[in-house]
Amino acid sequence: MASGARPTGVLREHQPRSNPSRAVDRRPTDMSSGVTLSELAAAVASVAILSVMLLPVLSVVREQTPELAPERWEETIAKFEERDRETPPPESPLLFTGSSTVVAWKTVAEDMPFAPVINRGFGGSQVSDVLYYVDRVIIAYRPRMVVLYSGDNDIAAGKDPALVLADYSAVEARIHAALPETTLVVVSVKPSLKRWHLAEPMRQLNALLPQWAAQRERTEYLSVWDEMLGEDGQPRPELYSDGLHMTPEGYRVWTELMRPRLQALWEGEPQR
């Protein structure tokens, strides 16, 4: 063999030519690995059998994976637009949008009496859905201020906090490209009894948001996390109607937290 040449295949123990009693494996081999073709065929068959056995499990996982296509909200968004044609919304409103926590805030206009309020939440939505419909649920109203609550559905769907933050960034960029004077207020993910097992990724997302907001013009972060926990560090049961959605007491806590901050932001900005 020439100097520096590399042998191919797998080196086998030297078999003396003069020893006929010692059997030699003459089965064809895959020379890149030293595995015989019969062994390879057996391995492939095993994988095929395992795949068939796993099909029911994979089907269950697929069924349990949330459908993330944003078009699922088209009917809801179209109803907003129909309502707006029947009753034109106020100009330069304080607009709330996001997931079911926003949808269920039936007293939000009364709780924020310092501004004309409209609620354009759509239940079960994620930040990526707000991004998909940002022109129709936010920009079309030319709001003076936007309060966005979302994120916990995203985490529950298995999204990484960094991915959710990227969706927030895209929403903020779209809003301020169209409405540079609009203030965006992002509310932290809230704790809940039903999703307490996801507390750690939720905390991770909440930890990313303050600095993210501080680096952007007319973007604010408002945390509700700590105030919704009891002295034991667990979510306060009285704030939840079903372990996830909030009771009137929960919204009272939110109002006490938000109204002073939002009013100060509102009154500190000139009317357009």
What pLDDT score was predicted for residue 10? 35
Q: For residues 123 and 150, give the distance between their C-alpha atoms in angstroms, rounded to a whole number.
A: 10
Q: For residues 49 and 163, give the distance between their C-alpha atoms in angstroms, rounded to a whole number.
A: 36
Tens-place pLDDT, residues 115-128: 999 999 998 999 99
On the question of pLDDT at 9 being above 70, the answer is no
The CATH topology of domain 70-261 is: Rossmann fold (3.40.50)
Domain ranges across the chain? 70-261
On the question of pLDDT at 37 being above 80, the answer is no
Q: How many residues does the chain have?
A: 272
Residue 248 amino acid letter = P
| Cα atoms in the 13 Å half-sphere on the side-chain side of 7 | 7
Tens-place pLDDT, residues 43-53: 434 434 433 34
On the question of pLDDT at 153 being above 90, the answer is yes
Tens-place pLDDT, residues 55-105: 343 333 333 335 468 788 999 999 999 999 999 999 999 999 999 999 999
What pLDDT score was predicted for residue 38? 56
Q: In the predicted model, what is the mean pLDDT of residues 13-25?
A: 40
What pLDDT score was predicted for residue 68? 64
Among 13-17, 41-45, 91-95, 243-247, the least confident range? 13-17
Higher-confidence residue of 30 and 259: namely 259
Residue burial 33-55, b: 16+ Cβ < 10 Å; e: rest: eeeeeeeeeeeeeeeeeeeeeee
What pLDDT score was predicted for residue 70? 79
Q: In the predicted model, what is the mean pLDDT of residues 145-172?
A: 98
Query: Residue 243 corresponds to which tokens in the numbers above?
Result: 């372990």
Contact of 151 with 205, CB cutoff 8 Å: yes
Higher-confidence residue of 247 and 71: namely 247
What pLDDT score was predicted for residue 30? 41
Contact of 234 with 198, CB cutoff 8 Å: no
Higher-confidence residue of 78 and 12: namely 78
